[in-house]
Amino acid sequence: MLAIDTNIVVRLLVGDHPDQSARARSLIESHRVLAPTTVVLESEWVLRGAYGLAKADVLGALRAFAGLPNVTLQEPERMAAALKWAEGGMDFADALHLAAAVDCEAFVTFDRRMAQASDSLDTPAVREP
C-alpha cells in the first residue's frame, strides 16, 4: 500500500493538469493507496478554498474518492461521521475534530457556530468552557 498526498487527491478529482491528473488516476487504479486523515482534510480545504468549489460538490467528490476500490481511509468511521455532519451543515474541519471526540464526554470550544451547527446533528455534545 502507498500513502498519498493532497496533490494526488486534488489532481485526481479536479483533472486540471493533464500529465499529473493522468498519473494520479493511474496510480490509484493500479495500487492500493492510503489517504491519511490530514490529507483528506487538506484536500477539502484546497478544493473549496483554492478552487472555489461549492461545499456540496467537494463533499460529494470526497465521498466518491473514499468509495474507490483501491482507496483506504486512515480513519474510515471518523471520516464517514465528519462527511455526514458536514453535509448536515457543519464545517468539515469542525466535523472532523468532533468525530475524533466521539468517545469523550463533550467537545469544548469557544466556537459558537460549531456548537449551533451540532445542535441539529447526531454529534457528541459541544459546549463552551
97-104 LR contacts (CB < 8 Å, sep 24+): 98/123, 98/124, 98/126, 99/75, 102/78
User: Within this chain, do residues 98 and 129 fall inside the same structural domain, yes or no?
Assistant: yes
Bridge-based pairing state of the strands 33-35 and 2-3: parallel
Domain count for the chain: 2
Residue 83 located in a structural domain: no
Q: Which grid coordinates belong to 84?
A: 455526514
- Residue 123, domain extent: 88-129
User: Within this chain, do residues 44 and 92 fall inside the same structural domain, yes or no?
Assistant: no
User: Within this chain, do residues 65 and 93 fall inside the same structural domain, yes or no?
Assistant: no
User: Within this chain, do residues 28 and 54 fall inside the same structural domain, yes or no?
Assistant: yes
User: Within this chain, do residues 20 and 56 fall inside the same structural domain, yes or no?
Assistant: yes
Residue 82 located in a structural domain: no
Summarised one tens digit per residue, pLDDT across range 86-100 is 999 999 999 999 999
The number of angstroms, rounded, from the C-alpha of 8 to the middle of its chain's C-alpha atoms is 14
Summarised one tens digit per residue, pLDDT across range 33-75 is 999 999 999 999 999 999 999 999 999 999 999 999 999 999 9
User: Within this chain, do residues 11 and 57 fall inside the same structural domain, yes or no?
Assistant: yes
| Identity of residue 28 | I
User: Within this chain, do residues 70 and 93 fall inside the same structural domain, yes or no?
Assistant: no
101 C-beta neighbours (distance < 10 Å), count: 16
What's the whole-model pTM score?
0.92
Residue 12 located in a structural domain: yes
| 6 vs 100: CA distance, rounded Å | 21
